[in-house]
């Protein structure tokens, strides 16, 4: 197997793994297992950056841009629509992240 095939295979595997990781991270946060939740959030961020994966917009909106945590409205974040932006206040790191809403 060539170097490029190996890389493509790893990317495919990571892309297949990502949706289940989002679900698992949410479950851990809802159960209150914060350390496992943070470790999974970190892993998701690592896989995204390493393999240059495209994350669906729905997941992108629910990720803190500062601490890379998965945001769950009502649990660890506050979400408001303000001036055409979706503004999420992360309660883990106490920072705002903005995402422009499409028309």
* Selected range binding Zn ion among 3-11, 22-30, 47-55, 83-91, rule: CB under 5 A: 83-91
| Token pair in block for residue 85 | 């932006």
Per CB under 5 A, which of residues 2..61 are in contact with Zn ion? none
Which of 21, 53, 55, 93 binds Zn ion (CB under 5 A)? It is 93
Which of 44, 64, 70, 88 binds Zn ion (CB under 5 A)? It is 64
CA distances to 6, 11, 23, 30, 37 from 33, rounded to whole Å, are: 34, 29, 14, 8, 6
Cβ-in-10-Å burial (0-12, 13-18, 19+) of 74 comes to: exposed
Cβ pair 36, 28 in contact under 8 A: yes
**Total residues interacting with Zn ion, rule: CB under 5 A:** 7
* Selected range binding Zn ion among 27-35, 36-44, 52-60, 67-75, rule: CB under 5 A: 67-75
Q: How far apart are CA 59 and CA 98, in angstroms?
A: 14
Which of 15, 53, 55, 67 binds Zn ion (CB under 5 A)? It is 67
Instruction: Using CB under 5 A, list all residues that contact Zn ion.
Output: 64, 66-67, 69, 90, 92-93
């Amino acid at each position: 197997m060539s170097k490029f095939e190996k890389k493509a295979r790893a990317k495919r595997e990571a892309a297949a793994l990502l949706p289940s990781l989002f679900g698992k991270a949410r479950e851990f946060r809802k159960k209150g297992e914060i350390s496992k939740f943070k470790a999974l959030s970190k892993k998701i961020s690592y896989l995204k950056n390493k393999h240059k994966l495209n994350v669906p917009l729905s997941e992108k909106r629910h990720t803190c841009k500062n601490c890379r945590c998965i945001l769950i409205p009502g649990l660890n974040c506050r979400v408001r629509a303000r001036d055409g932006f979706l503004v999420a206040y992360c309660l883990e790191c106490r920072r705002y992240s903005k995402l422009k809403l499409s028309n």
